[in-house]
Amino acid sequence: MSEASEAFTRYARMNGRYRKLIAANFRDLPEEKMASFGKDLAADSLTISDEEITLLMGEGWRGRLTAAWLVGFSRRLHFAQAIRNLLQSAEDPYSGKGYCFALARFGSEEDSHALESYLDVFLREPDMSSDCGWAMGALLVIDTKADSSYLHPLLKRHGLWEQWLLEKEIADPEFLSRMKGLISWLSDFADLSLRGVER
């Protein structure tokens, strides 16, 4: 990576933040440290400038991962299309889960379409689809809140989801429910963290 910007150092690298954001690894922290991590992330999500977010998005997967969590936490809807585009490109090895979290937080019809489109491609590519569980969970969260049914076609018998589970050798019948629960918990964690921050 080329020389990092001040924004990257401040928002992504400091205290190893981006490492804790990979697959929401901060969940492994002790409860008090996890709460502190959430409060710091919430505060930064409210104070970081749009220009700094744009800088982060241009600084490799670490920057994009961090940017996704920051805009997802604060629901900066004007970055939603950028997050949708990043999900569709599927170029980053670790950032996709952050994009899914952010889109679930935004929760619009366009976000559902982006997740559905991603799944239509990558459920067919088991070797390249490590984020499909998160994308399915995010889409189910949006469907539940919006009373929509974007997920339904993917759940048909012998459909893409069932075939993906077979290819990945995932036999847990509660896997999708657990993914929805994870995305919902992360969104609740963001809301709780934001309530602890002075605006």
- CATH number of the domain to which 71 belongs: 1.25.10
Name 128's Cβ contacts closer than 8 Å, sequence gap at least 6.
90, 122
Q: How far apart are the first and last CA of the chain?
A: 34
Count of domains for the chain: 1
Token pair 């077979």 is found at 166
Tell me what pLDDT residue 2 has: 55
**Alpha-carbon torsion, ordered 73, 75, 81, 83, to 10 deg:** 0
More confident residue, 130 or 49: 49
Domain membership of residue 90 (yes or no) is yes
H/E stretch holding 183 reads helix 175-195
How many separate helices (H) and strands (E) can be counted in the chain?
11, 0
List, for residues 78-110, the tens digit of each pLDDT value: 999 999 999 998 777 789 999 999 999 999 999
Query: In which domain, by residue range, is 64 found?
Result: 6-195
As a whole number of Å, the CA-based R_g of the chain is: 16
